[in-house]
């Protein structure tokens, strides 16, 4: 089958999801991202592809050289002080609140804590205490330490975006003094211009962060999935190929599934969810609460002061 691709760029109608009734439900509405975003070095496109399966791919291209947007990680509040939880799940729209925020995307995976019988509640809800997987740093303050087996994404002191390390890589983990904002994913899908995951594998909604060779051009990508005939998702090899096609030198697979979400400010200055998340609640689509998000803020707009401190966690085998 010949691949057919259509692009919905800034200035054209996009399929947008609104939070309804304060319950996290979503309703489809027609809207457009703010045209002024291009002047800030940010450009949004929605790609529709039909081969090897139907998919809707949301792409934010950020030119860090423009210098008008500040990447800022926002982590939810610490619910237990010196206890084991690093944060509590929070609506991403609340995490991305503030007049200076123009976009956000989900980042790290996480997990809940086992009960007395060793069972974990993975029916995620707002306020649920969780343990963040991998690096989480906001304004240089570490909320969750990087792990030797993890895959970190961070902005260094020069403002460049950097990615590493995947298992088996010989790169060093980011030094705390050299990073400002930090996140973590599951692993690289591209390294030094090459796709590094094999063909096949499970198809899911995906979130990826990629960067060019200079560290100055970034791509934030969400692939909708689990919606038959509308957008069905990708395997990791397909995700790597897509990031390569966009122009990435390195690209990371972030948390995906029902966590995959992208928000943008529309022409009325309102923050909206621009993709179609796969979670359902009472039969309707809903936005999953998250431990943290990566926001893009107009320069001069600072993130909320992070609370809590990094907590030690056992090394996983």
CA distance 302 to 233: 34
Predicted confidence (pLDDT) at residue 305 exceeds the cutoff of 50: no
Percent of the chain at pLDDT > 70 equals 79
36-92 tens-digit pLDDT? 899 999 999 999 999 999 999 999 999 999 999 999 999 999 999 999 999 999 999
Q: Which residues contact 123 (CB under 8 A, 6 or more apart)?
A: none
* Between residues 14 and 115, the one the model is more confident about: 115
Backbone phi, psi, residue 92, to 5°: -60, -30
Q: Are 273 and 261 in contact (CB under 8 A)?
A: yes
Band the pLDDT of 27: cuts 50, 70, 90. very low
Q: Are 62 and 42 in contact (CB under 8 A)?
A: yes
**Averaged pLDDT, 260-276:** 95
Q: Where are the alpha helices (DSSP H) in the chain?
A: 92-95, 236-246
Residue that is written with structure tokens 């990094």 in the block: 310
Q: Which residues pair with 46 in a beta bridge?
A: 8, 58
Residue that is written with structure tokens 């906001």 in the block: 138
Q: For residue 310, what pLDDT is reported? A: 52
CA distance 311 to 176: 15
Band the pLDDT of 23: cuts 50, 70, 90. very low
Tokens read off for 130: 């969780």
**Domain edges within the chain:** 5-114+125-298
Whole-number mean pLDDT of the chain?
86
Q: For residue 157, what pLDDT is reported? A: 86
Percent of the chain at pLDDT > 90 equals 70
Tokens read off for 264: 């943008």
Q: For residue 58, what pLDDT is reported? A: 98
**Averaged pLDDT, 252-275:** 96
């Amino acid at each position: 089958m010949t691949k057919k691709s259509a692009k919905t760029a800034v200035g054209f109608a996009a399929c947008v999801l609104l939070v309804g009734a304060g319950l996290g439900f979503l309703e489809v509405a027609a809207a457009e991202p703010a045209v002024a975003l291009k002047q800030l070095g940010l450009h949004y496109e929605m790609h529709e592809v039909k081969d090897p399966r139907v998919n809707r791919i949301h792409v934010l291209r950020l030119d860090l050289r423009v210098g008008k947007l500040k990447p800022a990680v926002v982590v939810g509040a610490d619910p237990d002080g010196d206890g084991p939880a690093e944060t509590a799940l929070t609506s991403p729209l609340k995490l991305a609140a503030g007049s200076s925020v123009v976009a956000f995307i989900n980042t790290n995976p996480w997990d809940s804590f086992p009960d007395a019988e060793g069972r974990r509640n993975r029916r995620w809800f707002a306020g649920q205490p969780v343990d963040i997987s991998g690096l989480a740093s906001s304004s240089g303050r570490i909320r969750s330490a990087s792990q030797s087996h993890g895959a970190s994404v961070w902005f260094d002191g020069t403002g460049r975006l950097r990615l590493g390390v995947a298992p088996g890589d010989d790169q060093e983990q980011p030094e705390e003094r050299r990073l400002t904002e930090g996140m973590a994913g599951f692993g690289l899908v591209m390294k030094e211009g090459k796709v590094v995951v094999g063909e096949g594998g499970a198809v899911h909604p995906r979130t990826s962060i990629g960067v060019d060779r200079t560290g100055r051009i970034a791509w934030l990508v969400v692939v909708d999935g689990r919606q038959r005939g509308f957008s069905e998702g990708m395997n990791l090899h397909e995700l790597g190929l897509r990031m390569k096609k966009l122009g990435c030198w390195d690209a990371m697979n972030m948390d995906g599934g029902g966590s995959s979400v992208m928000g943008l400010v529309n022409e009325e200055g309102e923050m909206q969810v621009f993709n179609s998340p796969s979670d359902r609640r009472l039969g309707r689509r809903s936005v999953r609460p998250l431990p943290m998000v990566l926001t893009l803020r107009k320069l001069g707009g600072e993130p909320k002061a992070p609370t809590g401190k990094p907590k030690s966690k056992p090394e996983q085998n």
